[in-house]
Amino acid sequence: MDSLIFNEALIKRKLFDCNSPSRISLKDDFFTRSAVLFSIIPYENKPYDLILIHRSNLGTRHRGEMSFPGGKYEEDKDKTLKDTALRETVEEIGVSKESIKIIGCLDDFPTMTKYIITPFVAVIDNNQQLIREEREVQRILKIPIDFFTNKTQFRERAIEVDGNKFPVFYFNYLDKENGQKYTVWGATAYMIVTFIETVTGEPFDKLENIFGLTCA
């Protein structure tokens, strides 16, 4: 469990600086630029949480999906993609910009829906109140990182697009508070797997050797 206790210096050292030339930064005129806040809630004596949101069916994008707070870059509101991630987080989970500490970035991720996502990794204090934007967010969830590293609810499927097969990741999470099952999949699951591999320095399929866990 000690490996899953939040260590800001360690995680920051493993991540890219958001402006690093070593980070994969993608641009394409046929893709929409977007950004998310890969949000961490740290604790002293237990594994840290990730903040995810279950989107409602009323929004304009990714309706009903599990995701990190975030959205598309808007020229009239944002100077940078960092502004996008912060603005959307403030709107969707009610956290002020002053309560968000960005510690690094992951590589950009293109989606099959023609978005390019820039993930900003950030820390939010565990005492911070989270308030959902009622129209677009059904529920805010705090999911412990050891749920993802345990992998008992992890699945991988291959889908075919234009004759090519691509892997799609799934995590099925049961919220004990309301008894509802949530599926974390696609780009969001991919970013979580990438984050875990980046921080641990190991392929995801070898995590049981690091944490002494077995996969179902």
Instruction: For 31-48, write each residue's pLDDT tens digit.
Output: 999 999 999 999 999 999
Overall size of the chain counted in residues: 216
- Superfamily name and number for 2-148: Nucleoside Triphosphate Pyrophosphohydrolase (3.90.79.10)
Residue 194 has pLDDT above 50, yes or no: yes
Least confident of 115-119, 149-153, 171-175: 149-153
Q: How far apart are CA 190 and CA 7, in angstroms?
A: 22
62-108 pLDDT, tens digit per residue, is: 556 899 999 999 999 999 999 999 999 999 999 999 999 999 999 99
Residues forming beta bridges with residue 39, ordered by sequence position: 51, 122
Q: How far apart are CA 9 and CA 202, in angstroms?
A: 18
* Helical spans, DSSP H, in 78-206: 81-93, 145-150, 186-200
As a whole number, mean pLDDT of residues 8-16 equals: 96
Which residues, 6+ apart, have CB-to-CB distance to 117 below 8 Å? 34, 35, 36, 70, 108, 109, 110, 111, 187, 191
Q: How far apart are CA 63 and CA 13, in angstroms?
A: 35
Give the pTM: 0.89
Q: Give the domain ranges of the chain.
A: 2-148
Residue 61 has pLDDT above 90, yes or no: no
| SS3 at position 96 | coil
Phi, psi of 53 (to 5 degrees): -120, 145
| SS3 at position 88 | helix
